[in-house]
């Protein structure tokens, strides 16, 4: 059984200077391509579903399949809600069996972001689910719908003093920071504020998260990893490669009626992109001895599972409900 939460994988990444990729799942092809890449590369992996993709992927339908795939995988797998902005999405993800969530209050005023993140942390930690939050704001359209905004203006960048206060008051497990990346495709060369990233890392000493991974150079990724980034979100590049694969196949066989064949082409191209990124993020090979995560982790079917599961589904739902009600009362709802 290799279903784990974020803490189980990103602290090892943070300490040993590599990053675990978080790859968005849209359908079964994405799921199988990403898991295939992780097993091929012996890499831990985060399977993410973004709230913005809820219209395309029914989480109650797909999560049982993801959990089953995760349990049978020979690498540790995190099921993570990406950019949860509503309380409802967080609770739905918990109930569906996610092991980790991101609550994105980055567009809220600072105090409101602190308060709402803190209540989500309290609920999620009660049931062993990890929480990522965002401070500052990574611009561009999450979900890679062809958004090509200009680079993030500096006023959106994460401020070090605010980040220290935010982490102290919320108790989040990791923090997404805004240092010049954008969601979707870049217009022009990306320029990351590595100096700010270094100061954030020195001040916070918790794993940092980089969003907007598509389009950065291997050099930029690795420099960010050396400065505390232990989770990298990557989506647009997979979507681009899937669309390219379909275009290419239809060019070769314009009269095809072989839909499953097209899906296979998509899957292969997505898997190649994910494998390439696992190499760049230096998570490839981490699930092989003598690496520390491999020695400690749950991925190998021969080892017992220390965490990531929290009892029966009924027990989980009961505890989520009780804690949610308690928190809502506390915050005067």
Site residues (vs Zn ion, CB under 5 A): 211, 233
Are 89 and 122 contacting, i.e. CB atoms less than 8 angstroms apart? Answer: no
* Cα distances (angstroms) measured from residue 15 to each of 18, 226, 249, 293: 8, 10, 43, 11
Least Å from the CB of residue 319 to Zn ion? 28
Least Å from the CB of residue 197 to Zn ion? 16
Least Å from the CB of residue 183 to Zn ion? 5
Q: Would you say 106 or 126 has its CB closer to Zn ion?
A: 106
Strands (E), the chain: 3-4, 20-24, 45-50, 77-84, 100-103, 130-135, 174-177, 208-210, 229-234
Which contacts (CB < 8 Å, 24+ apart) does range 325-329 have? 327/119, 327/122, 327/123
Catalytic residues: 82
Are 176 and 133 contacting, i.e. CB atoms less than 8 angstroms apart? Answer: yes
For 95, which DSSP code?
Answer: H
Alpha-carbon span 112 to 49, nearest angstrom? 24
Is 252 buried (19+), middle (13-18) or exposed (0-12) by CB count in 10 A? exposed
Tokens of 15: 């300490």
Q: Would you say 90 or 294 has its CB closer to Zn ion?
A: 90
Q: Would you say 24 or 241 has its CB closer to Zn ion?
A: 24
Least Å from the CB of residue 228 to Zn ion? 17
Per-residue burial over 81-90, b = 16 or more CB atoms within 10 Å of its CB, e = otherwise:
bbbbbebebb
Least Å from the CB of residue 134 to Zn ion? 8
Q: Would you say 48 or 278 has its CB closer to Zn ion?
A: 48
Q: Would you say 196 or 267 has its CB closer to Zn ion?
A: 196
Q: Would you say 80 or 211 has its CB closer to Zn ion?
A: 211
Are 305 and 1 contacting, i.e. CB atoms less than 8 angstroms apart? Answer: yes
**Distance between start and end Cα atoms, the chain:** 39
Those residues whose C-beta lies under 8 Å from the C-beta of residue 23, and which sit 6 or more positions away, are: 30, 34, 45, 46, 47, 48, 234, 235, 238, 274, 277
Least Å from the CB of residue 120 to Zn ion? 17
């Amino acid at each position: 059984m290799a279903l784990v939460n974020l803490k189980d994988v990103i602290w090892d990444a943070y300490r040993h200077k590599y990053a675990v990729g978080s790859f968005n799942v849209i359908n079964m092809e994405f799921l199988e391509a990403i898991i295939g890449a992780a097993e091929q590369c012996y890499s831990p992996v985060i399977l993410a579903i973004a709230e913005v993709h809820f219209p395309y992927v029914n989480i109650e339908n797909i999560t049982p399949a993801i959990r089953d795939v995760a349990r049978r995988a020979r690498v540790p797998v995190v099921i993570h809600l990406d950019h949860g902005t509503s309380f409802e999405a967080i609770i739905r993800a918990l109930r569906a069996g996610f092991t980790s969530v991101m609550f994105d209050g980055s567009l809220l005023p600072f105090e409101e972001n602190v308060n709402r993140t803190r209540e989500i942390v309290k609920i999620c930690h009660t049931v062993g689910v990890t929480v990522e939050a965002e401070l500052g704001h990574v611009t561009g359209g999450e979900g890679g719908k062809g958004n090509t905004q200009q680079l993030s203006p500096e006023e959106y960048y994460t401020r070090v003093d605010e980040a220290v206060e935010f982490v102290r008051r919320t108790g989040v497990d990791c923090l997404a920071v805004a240092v010049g990346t954008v969601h979707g495709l870049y217009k022009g060369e990306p320029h990351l504020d590595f100096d700010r990233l270094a100061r954030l890392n020195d001040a916070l000493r918790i794993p940092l998260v980089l969003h907007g991974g598509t389009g950065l150079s291997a050099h930029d990724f690795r420099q960010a990893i050396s400065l505390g980034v232990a989770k990298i979100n990557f989506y647009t590049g997979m979507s681009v490669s899937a669309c390219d694969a379909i275009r290419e196949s239809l060019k070769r066989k314009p009269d095809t009626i072989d839909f499953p064949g097209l899906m296979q082409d998509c899957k292969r191209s997505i898997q190649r992109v994910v494998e390439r990124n696992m190499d760049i993020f230096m998570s490839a090979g981490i699930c092989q001895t003598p690496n520390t995560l491999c020695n400690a982790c749950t991925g190998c079917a021969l080892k017992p599972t220390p965490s990531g599961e929290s009892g029966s589904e009924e027990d989980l739902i009961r505890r989520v409900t009780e804690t949610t009600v308690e928190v809502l009362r506390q915050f005067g709802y």
